[in-house]
Amino acid sequence: MMKPSLFVATPEFPADSQYVHLYRDRTDINIKRAADQGFEAVEFIINDPDVCDVSLLEKAIADNHIELACLNTGYIASGLKYTLISQDKVIMEKAMQKLKKCIDIAERMHCFVGIGLFRGACIPDKPIRYSRDLLVDVLKEATAYAKAKKVDLSFEATNRFEINFINTTAEGVDIVERVGADNLGMTLDLFHIYLEDRNMYEAITMAKDHIRHMHFSDSDRWPAGFSHGEINFPALIQLLHALGYDGYLSEGLVRADNADECARVTVGYLKKLIQKYTI
């Protein structure tokens, strides 16, 4: 059955970022707040995996009887400035080291690792196919390492205003299928799909064999139930249910002064939809 999940970040996440998570306090405080509002899982925006307090994360998950949906690698790109592809090979090497450390943590925590902006932008002064080929090679190395640890990875296509290639769902599917690893799936983000794909329902259906995770924000990027966008969430819940998806619906990558109210309204709305259309 689908479960609502909330993004949580650590204090290292930049305060002036365009996308500040609802909760970015100490890890145990964030997770308790998410559980208190009724979320069944959290998506953890990991800080530097080499200094992440995994024991604190593990204890907070257990103490609050909540699940860890995945490790989100966005901060490694935005904060540490490491990306899996780059014109600087040193950056690529450091990024792969960080990813492998995330995989080690995911093995311990029994979750998967998400890769979005962490993939890196298209290499300047090279054809786009060069960057795609390079990314495929990098992901093949990463999935092989992860497979030995019994860890899944999930790749996310991201809109053109945030990165300059692999923007549409079809482009994301192409990368995943070229890598050809059974432990590599896709994270579908409704906000990115809204901006990049002509038909949201067709895009999700086309990717049905690869869906590993969902980011469930509205067209204004606010969480479902608290937003004022154009996405039909009841119809999407029904579509995902028909496609056999039973994973997480992850929310909360926004600025909000009334964070607890936003979280509470969102989780209540999602649970109502899940109860009505999937049970």
The CA-based angle 182-170-79, given to 5 degrees, is 75
CA distance 158 to 275: 30
d(CA 246, CA 233): 15
pLDDT confidence tier of residue 18, bands split at 50, 70 and 90: low
- Residue carrying structure tokens 């049905």: 208
* Average pLDDT along the chain: 94
Domains held by the chain: number: 1
**β-strand pairing of 112-115 with 153-156:** parallel
Quick one: tokens of 30? 């964030």
> What are the tens digits of pLDDT across the range 48-87?
999 999 999 999 999 999 999 999 999 999 999 999 999 9
Domain carrying residue 165: 3-278
Residue 157: give its domain's CATH number: 3.20.20.150
Tens digit of each residue's pLDDT (9 = 90 or more) over 151-193: 999 999 999 999 999 999 999 999 999 999 999 999 999 999 9
CA angle (73, 226, 162) in 5-degree steps: 35
pTM: 0.96
Q: pLDDT class for 259, splitting at 50, 70, 90?
A: confident
Query: Cα separations (Å) of 167 from 20, 99, 121, 192, 215?
Result: 22, 22, 11, 8, 15
Q: Cα(165)–Cα(128) distance, rounded to whole angstroms?
A: 8
d(CA 36, CA 64): 8
Tokens of 102: 């995330």
Q: What is the pLDDT of residue 252?
A: 77
Residue for token pair 């966008």: 229
Distance CA 90, CA 83 (A): 10
Instruction: Spell 7-44 as b/e; 16+ CB within 10 A means b.
Output: bbbbebbeeebebbbbbbeebbebbbbbbebebbbbbb
Q: What is the pLDDT of residue 255?
A: 65
pLDDT digits (tens, 9 = 90+) for 183-235: 999 999 999 999 999 999 999 999 999 999 999 999 988 888 888 899 999 99
**pLDDT band for position 250 (50/70/90)?**
very high
Nearest of 24, 37, 73, 25 to residue 253 by alpha carbon? 24
Fill in the amino acid letter for 99: L
